[in-house]
Chain A
Amino acid sequence: MSHQEQLLPHDRVLRYEFNERMNHWVAAGSFIYLMLTGLAFWSPWLFWIASALGGAELSRMLHPWIGLVFFVAVCYMFALWSRQMNFDSVDAQWWKSLHYYIQNQDDKMPPAGRYNAGQKLLFWSFFGGAILLLASGVVLWFTESLPWSLRWMRYISVVVHAGTALLLIGNFMIHIYMGVFAERGAFGSVIRGDVSLAFAKRYHPGWYKEIVANSNRPK
């Protein structure tokens, strides 16, 4: 973790530094492009998306390259955040209280650290998903160069790629819903980098304590 002062003036708390925010948006932007072009190939009813994005040939050409960008961003994300994403005992309790979380009764939730159990699961699903998508995506990329004797790799890849993409798109929808609509202030944290004290205390009390303990500011 950084040793930068995280308690900011005006009751604000630094949540994401510039490189964390930048990387988040490289991952998000590439993911959205991959999702849109991928969905165009997934269903004839969505093929028009590819036309809107410059034509299906262009989408076919760019999708794998943007896939590489996405994968690199996810790897950097792993380097930045993986240590804070290990599950601990609070997480076990967190899952048991999930229904309170869903009903917005956050005062009944066990004290999460910088990330709650749901966010950790999201992180690991994206990390594992990115690996599966890269492995199967490379096969789809050069599918016609694969010899006939290795055709089973094509069969596995179409199912794994589409299946993993669906799972990640599902997780992505929940992620957008939480970050943009449900948790006010969360969206600002990946744009400007800070959240309010109330936000930190309410959703990430464990993290809040850490910040206060590490703070150099006179109390």
Chain B
Amino acid sequence: MSQATLRIQKISGHAGTVPGEDTQREFTVCKLVDTTTCIGCKACEVACVEWNDMPFSQTTFDNTYQTMPDTRWNYWNLILFNEHEREDGTLQWLMRKHQCMHCAEPGCLEACPADGAIVQYTNGVVDFQQDHCIGCGYCVTGCPFNIPKFNSVTKRMYKCSLCTDRVSQGLEPACIKSCPTGCLHFGSKDDMKFLAEKRAKQLREHFGYENAGVYDPPGVGGTGVIYVLHDATKPELYGGLPSNPTIPLAVKFWKHPLKWLGNIALVGGLIGLFAHYLRFGPKAHDEPDVASKEGD
């Protein structure tokens, strides 16, 4: 982590300032997933497993195009499939590439108690550092997208790293590289936002999807993965994408007001007890007059 320090903007469980904060500026990177051109081929799933050198993970078959129900500690990228029946009775196959969203305000990092187990680089990528992880699971509670996954053997958490090793060398993530339809794009957040809006406009004006739009939820400060959806008013249809994700209220309460109230109460209590001793001293039952006054 030593050289990487200059490129970090947030550190989990860290006391004091972030070393190297604001010393380097980088583009915020972003993946753009156009769900309207995804064919559900799962090339990105395979590329992810390959590049990140993950052990074999058995798929399950449920009579649909769903490979497995959820991401796993060694399966970070999953196409979620939904056969949606529209109002006119026709069917629509919705496919969404599901992985860590690389939130600008990451709930996982907010919740994590271990110094440096989760970092956010200046390019916006949220990365788990397994060598600092203690396996407490707090990140699971903090994440609004159900992303961090636990390995019960190593007792550590895993998730998509946005191919930090590739991106830091100027390459695109493995999933983007593998996509045969070009529905995946990678670049700066501004460029991806521009491209996404353009595509949504095209869908609205030329393809009859009046509700087409871009998913970049403001509740978590925007995300490093944005989606073009045929119907942006119903993100839930796309494998349960939350319509307004935020860091859970309980987690905000726990990490802010409760923290301050608790700390003030504990330190205040210690000072109060010490002051009491200075003012009143110990209780003195051993004085002979007391013992005799209340004789039996």
* Chain A residues packing against B (C-beta within 8 Å): 40-45, 47, 50, 56-57, 59-61, 102-104, 106-107, 140, 143-144, 148, 151, 154-156, 158-159, 162-163, 166, 169-170, 173-174, 177, 181-185, 196-199, 201-203, 205, 208, 212
Contacts and interface: CB of A to CB of B under 8 A. Distances in A.
Nearest to A55: B134
Interface stretch (B88-96, B220-228, B258-266): B258-266
A144 B150 contact: yes
A47 B283 contact: no
A170 B114 CA distance: 24
Contact of B290 (A59, A107, A170): A107
Interface string B125-149: 0000000001111101100001011
Interface string B243-280: 00000111101100011001101100110010011001
A56 B131 CA distance: 12
B254 to A, nearest CB: 5
Nearest to B150: A144
B56 to A, nearest CB: 22
Contact of A143 (B114, B137, B276, B296): B137
Contacts, number: 141
B281 interface: yes
B258 A162 contact: yes
A185 B290 CA distance: 15
Contacts of A162: 254, 258, 262
Given A143-B141, A183-B283, A197-B291, A43 B263 contact: yes
A47 B114 contact: yes
A85 to B, nearest CB: 22
Given A140-B136, A158-B251, A184-B286, 10 more contacts: A43-B15, A44-B14, A57-B134, A60-B134, A106-B285, A143-B137, A162-B254, A201-B295, A202-B285, A205-B294
Nearest to B113: A41
A72 B1 CA distance: 43
Contacts of B13: 44, 47
A27 B128 CA distance: 37
A183 B282 contact: yes
Contacts of B294: 107, 201-202, 205
B259 A43 contact: yes
B120 to A, nearest CB: 16
B206 interface: no
B138 to A, nearest CB: 7
Given A47-B15, A154-B141, A183-B283, A107 B293 contact: yes
B166 interface: no
Contact of B250 (A44, A155, A170): A155
B284 interface: yes
A139 to B, nearest CB: 10
Contacts of A45: 15
A133 B26 CA distance: 44
A12 B91 CA distance: 87
17 contacts: A41-B113, A44-B13, A103-B280, A104-B282, A104-B284, A106-B283, A143-B140, A144-B140, A155-B248, A156-B250, A158-B138, A166-B258, A173-B273, A174-B273, A177-B273, A182-B282, A183-B282
Q: Which 5 A-B pairs have the closest CB atoms?
A: A155-B250, A143-B137, A202-B285, A144-B150, A44-B15
A219 B33 CA distance: 91
B258 A163 contact: yes
Nearest to A63: B136
B257 to A, nearest CB: 10
A187 to B, nearest CB: 11
B25 interface: no
A56 B277 CA distance: 35
